[in-house]
Amino acid sequence: MASKGFARCFAEVVREHRKQKKLSQEKLAEKAELSTVFISRVERGKESPSVDSLLKIAKALDVRVRDLVRKL
CATH of the domain at 14: 1.10.260.40
Q: State how many domains the chain has.
A: 1
Could you say which residues of the chain have pLDDT below 70?
1-4, 71-72
End-to-end CA distance of the chain: 7
Q: Is residue 36 part of a domain?
A: yes
Q: Is residue 25 part of a domain?
A: yes
Q: Angle at CA 33, nearest 5°, toward 32 and 36?
A: 85
Structure letter (DSSP) for residue 20 = H
- Measure the CA–CA gap between 2 and 28, rounded to whole angstroms: 26
Nearest to 72 by CA among 14, 9, 18, 27: 9
Query: 31 by DSSP, 3-state: which?
Result: helix
Q: Is residue 56 part of a domain?
A: yes
Q: Is residue 64 part of a domain?
A: yes
Can you give the residue range of the structural domain that contains 23?
6-68
Residue 69: the pLDDT is 87
Q: Is residue 53 part of a domain?
A: yes
Q: Is residue 1 part of a domain?
A: no
